[in-house]
Structure formats: structure tokens, C-alpha cells
Amino acid sequence: MREKLLLIPGPSPVHPRIIHSLAQPTVSHVGPEMVEELGQALENLKRIVFCEKGEAFLIAGAGTLAMEMAILNTLASGEKALILSQGYFGNRMAEICRSFGLDHDLLESPWGTAVLPDELDRRLMNNDYKVVVATHVDTATGTCAPVHEYAEILKKQEAIFILDGVCATGGIEERMDDWGIDVVLTAAQKCFGVPPGLAVLVLSERALAKRKAMPRIPAYYSDLLRWLPIMKDPTKYFSTPCVNEVRAFYESTLIILEEGLEERFGRHSRTARALRSGLEALGFTFFTQKEFLAATLSVVNYPPGVEDKRFRSSYYESGVVVAGGLAETAGRVFRMGHMGNLSSSQVYFALDALEQTLKTIGYGFEQGSGRRAARAILGD
């Protein structure tokens, strides 16, 4: 079967260098290769989120495990968290809190927007939150939160600031030290472009000190203090790491640093603008309000006459996989991821295949307008 271009909101397309590293023989999880590559991957990861001190963790699992680990290791029983939610995954963090009986307030924004910094400020005035959680980009709504502004407000507080960067880290700037973010959590399959399989976390010294001050937490595998010795010295054992996946992640960090962080963030925003401009030229509009559009994915409204299932299966036949809407947006939108190691030629391929799809389903448009609009931005 011809390989499809995976433009769902994660997993993202996997670079041949990463595929190649996955194909290497499995090595001992406590052997020299792991000492070298896990150690380097953690160092590189810290550079990617601009965290000089702190500690990084790579654990077999996925983004939801990273969410669970972040909250369990920083919110003590009897303390209260504030969860800012602009969609599906902020609400998931609240569900995690409920599952563990952790006290929390949920501050939600309407879908397509994010909680405004002023609202956060007001909420903090009369409450004593020990942890504040935000989602950088919500994958269901395509909204990017004003994280830097949240962080500025939180600088005046003692609360630990957790950022769910699952759909952002490595593609959109997140400066832990400078901005004052205490935990960045993510997963391998989004902006790192690695197949799913890793929970990824970076904790500031302050966040780690908080964990150390908590005598017990309701976790075993998710207890970061059990993992810390392994991250510092991979010859030690706690639970068998997914060796090949760690090596692939290491390769992804090399690709990111070789590209350069500023260049990579710039490329993500250029790619987003190019794709959106192509989509607009073909008659599509966006679900997310303009000021909250994310560089990593787009939630695209169907114009009248375009039916979700037919559109997506035809796009698939043309070589591109996109996702449907979640919850209230199901059937009304499709979601297109544009994160990781996406090249300009993949962007053009996606737009050409989109034109082919629209032709197949009998939707009128000006031929070549998608590609032309994207070229005006990408310039190559």
C-alpha cells in the first residue's frame, strides 16, 4: 500500500532518520548505548524547552501518563489546583484529578478561544492554588493559549505552573527558565515526530523540590522519584525502558537541534500560515478564533455541501490522512496537524491532494489556487 501522508494531530509523519534508528537492534536497557543515548536525549530535551538546571524524564507511556505524572508529583493531598481548559485535554486533566481525589477548580473558555490572562489574574486573587495547569495547544479546538502571559502572572505566585505541551513542545517556543514554567509535559508522537510510546517531562528544580517535600504520593510507576536515579544513571534499573523508542527520540532531538530552535519555531508558523492560506483559497474557514490559531494544527470548517466522511475518505484515497472533529465539532470540521518534521514538498502534496479530493466530490474551486497561496508564503 502506498504510504499516506499523516496529517492528523499526531502521530505526525516520521522522518527516515527516525525510522532508521527504530530499526537498530535492541540493546540492553542498562548498557552503554542507553547510558549515552538516554543521557544525551535528556540533555537535548532540556535545551529544547530552555531549562538549564531541572530534570528531564522519558518514560514508556504516552501524553496522558505524562499528565498524570505531572499532577501527582506536584499537588499534595489537601492542596488545590487550578486547571485552565480551552477544550478536551484541559478537561482530561480535571478528570485525572477526580480519579485521584485531588482538589481542583476548572476554568474553561468557550471552544475556539482560550482563558484570557485577566481571567487567570482575577481567579488567583481570592484563591490559594498550589498548582496551575494550562494546555499550550488543545488538539480538539486548535487553540493556542497565551502561555507567556500566564507565566508572567504566575511569576508573582508560589504555585507550580504545569504546561501540557503535547501538541506544542518542540514546535512552539516554551522557555521554562525565562518564563517561569515549572513542568513541561509532552509525548513523542507530536512535534518530535517519533512514533507514539513515550511520556516526556521536564521539571524545574522548584517542581522537583516540591515532589521531594511530599512524603507520599498515590503512585508507584508514576512516581518521578523512582525514575530520577535511572535518568541520572541509566545503568540502574527500576522498570524496563522502551529502548528502541528512546533511541528514536534521541535521534529526533538531534534533528531538532540541527535545524535550530528559532528556525524550527519559525518553520512551524510559516507552514501553518501556508497551509491555512491554501485552505482559505480553496474556500475553507477555521473553527478557532483568529488570535488563538496554533502553529501546529488547524481545525477547519467544512463549507456547505462538503460531507465529513466522504471528504475524509476521498482525501485518504488521494494520499492524505486528516482527523475528524471531536465532541461538539464532530462532522462539522476536520483537523489537520502540521507539526514535527514536515517539509515544504509535503505541504504542497497535501494541497494538491486536497484539490484532487474536492474535484472528486464535485466541489467547485479555482484550480491551483491552494498551491499558489501556499507558495506566496513558503517561497520555494
* Least CB distance to ligand PMP at residue 320 (A): 19
Residues of span 94-153 touching ligand PMP by CB under 6 A: 135, 138-139
Q: Count residues contacting ligand PMP (CB under 6 A)?
A: 13
Q: Name residue, grid cell 538516554.
A: 38
Residues of span 4-23 touching ligand PMP by CB under 6 A: 10
Q: Are 351 and 359 in contact (CB under 8 A)?
A: no
* Least CB distance to ligand PMP at residue 281 (A): 28
Quick one: which of 94, 166, 279, 347 contacts ligand PMP (CB under 6 A)? Answer: 166
Decide whether 193 or 278 has the Cβ nearer to ligand PMP: 193
Decide whether 167 or 281 has the Cβ nearer to ligand PMP: 167
Gap between the Cα atoms of 156 and 204, Å rounded: 17
Q: Among the candidate windows 161-169, 233-241, 305-313, 361-369, which touches ligand PMP by CB under 6 A?
A: 161-169
* Least CB distance to ligand PMP at residue 374 (A): 25
Decide whether 166 or 217 has the Cβ nearer to ligand PMP: 166
Residues of span 238-297 touching ligand PMP by CB under 6 A: none
* Least CB distance to ligand PMP at residue 92 (A): 7
Question: Cα 31 to chain center, whole Å?
Answer: 30
**C-alpha grid cell, residue 5:** 501522508
- Is 318 an interacting residue with respect to ligand PMP (CB under 6 A)? no
What is the per-residue binding string for ligand PMP in 53-72, x denoting contact by CB under 6 A?
---------xxx--x-----
Give backbone dihedrals phi and psi of 51, rounded to 5 degrees, phi first: -120, 115
Quick one: which of 6, 187, 350, 358 contacts ligand PMP (CB under 6 A)? Answer: 187
- Is 203 an interacting residue with respect to ligand PMP (CB under 6 A)? no
β-partners of residue 63 are none
* Least CB distance to ligand PMP at residue 259 (A): 22
Binding site for ligand PMP (CB under 6 A): 10, 62-64, 67, 89, 135, 138-139, 164, 166-167, 187
